[in-house]
Structure 1
Amino acid sequence: MMNQVGFTSGALTGPADGKVAWTMHDDLAAVDALLLAGKAQFDGPTPPLTGDAALDLADLAALATDLLGRSIVRKVVTQEVMASALRSSGMPESTVQIVLGYFHAAEAGEFATVDPTLAHLLGRPAATLRSYLETKLQNTSRQLR
């Protein structure tokens, strides 16, 4: 699971980041099915299909703290420190560069756009990162016991 180590250790560690309009896979799959079945449509270029809020890792740490009932902090490290840790874990260099690229893009605001199209196509609000984490972090808490 995303950030499993951080949720377990109590620190979400990584380089400087930025807001991300988190989108749940189940919502994307549902809207894909609607579009492919011709039950939903939009005109023009594909719009961003996003949740309704953009959160950074500090926001994610605050959510996890609230849901787990224990402190989860956001620890910022340099890209060099992050790259070294990833390499030490056995991650291939090409994957290290992809991971760092995501942080760089987030910091530049590339993932911050929030758009209502996903919710409109679904006919309901998009799932929130909080609701996703409620389920995933319950599983993490059980594994720690």
Structure 2
Amino acid sequence: MTVVVTGATGHLGRLIVESLLARGAEPTSIVAAGRQADKLAALAELGVTTASIDYSDEASLAAAFVGADSVMLVSGTEMGQRVAQHAAVITAAQAAGVGRIVYTSAPQADTSALILAPEHKATEELIRASGLGFTILRNGWYTENYLDMLDQSDASGEIAVSVGDGRVASASRADYADAAAVVLLGEGHDGATYELSGDVAWNFGDLAAAFSDILGREIPFRAISTEEHIAEMTAAGLPAGAVQFVAALDSNIRDGALEVTSGDLAQLIGRPTTPLLQGLRTARGILVG
């Protein structure tokens, strides 16, 4: 069985490749495909085949998918471009005779008000209409998404966001990568849609406590209104598009869009998901325990 992992030069894609190898996949059965030549060279040192691809370059996708049984479609990062890019991947997979696509989607993509959901919903619809075998992994939030906020809090001395009492059931990227590897190497996942998230939905008081532990001083959480948040981000010089995105995401969190704890992720990987503090400490390179 040959598996092509797209986005392999990104954080999640690389971890999926590593998890496949750790679970016994032959290096020669894995094609690590991505855009960054230096990172592809580092992946080649693991013994896997590499391929240079771009989601907007159909010829590169066609070449990478030759002889592939499965394609791990790691969602693109360019908002507004993802549906077209993912469609190119799906078309190339069809043309290459790929048997199955495994796709990293978003929580409750078909019903959620999450600002990221529409492109994922559209991609899921394309996959379901393609005639290919598929498994949908609706990945929840990555704990590593809060590393930038940790640095900002280190500088400002607080967490000041407009999430209210909202909760986030995050898990580490490694947890999600392990789930992808389990699905790619295992059986019984055809046609399945998994709602993946951490075991615990934490609030931003909990996040502040984790930051305090890591930084060695108290970092309080200050709840602010959306209007205050927009004003503060604008004053800090953030681009208007980024300001609107963050404000919308905080509103989604406040409304519960990222708090679902289905248990699917822990069940797939056969262990509890990585707790918030441990995930942050690991991502920051701090020894745990």
Where do residues 7-86 of structure 1 align in structure 2 (5 Å cutoff)?
Answer: 7-17=154-164, 18-37=166-185, 39=186, 41-42=188-189, 45-86=192-233
Matched, 1:2 2:143: no
Where do residues 74-113 of structure 1 align in structure 2 (5 Å cutoff)?
Answer: 74-113=221-260
Question: Aligned with 1:13: secondary structure?
Answer: strand
Return the alpha-carbon distance in structure 1 between the equivalents of residues 187 and 154 of structure 2.
37
Shift of 1:8: 3.8
Question: Aligned with 1:75: secondary structure?
Answer: strand
TM-score by length of 2: 0.43
- Could you say what the CA RMSD is over the residues aligned between the two structures, in angstroms? 2.2
Range with bigger deviation, 63-72 or 39-48: 39-48
Aligned residues of 1:41 and 1:121 also touching (Cα < 8 A): no
Q: Deviations over 1:42-93 (max 9, x none)?
A: 4765232111100111111122223433111001222122112222333222
Aligned residues of 2:171 and 2:279 also touching (Cα < 8 A): no
Return the alpha-carbon distance in structure 1 between the equivalents of residues 187 and 205 of structure 2.
35
Question: Aligned with 1:2: secondary structure?
Answer: helix
Among 129, 135, 139, the alignment partner of 2:276 is 129
Q: 1:86 to 1:99 in 2, by over 3 A?
A: same
Q: 1:100 to 1:128 in 2, by over 3 A?
A: same
Q: Which residue of 2 aligns with 1:142?
A: none
TM-score by length of 1: 0.81
Question: Aligned with 1:47: secondary structure?
Answer: strand
Q: Deviations over 1:17-59 (max 9, x none)?
A: 301101211111221122123x265476523211110011111
Question: What are structure 2's unaligned runs of at least 5 residues?
Answer: 1-146
Paired amino acid for 1:69: G
Higher relative contact order (CA 8 A, sep 6+): 1
Return the alpha-carbon distance in structure 1 between the equivalents of residues 157 and 175 of structure 2.
29
Q: Deviations over 1:73-129 (max 9, x none)?
A: 001222122112222333222221111111111111111111211111111211111
Aligned residues of 2:170 and 2:201 also touching (Cα < 8 A): yes
Paired amino acid for 1:111: L
Question: What are structure 1's unaligned runs of at least 5 residues?
Answer: 140-145
Q: Which has the larger radius of gyration?
A: 2
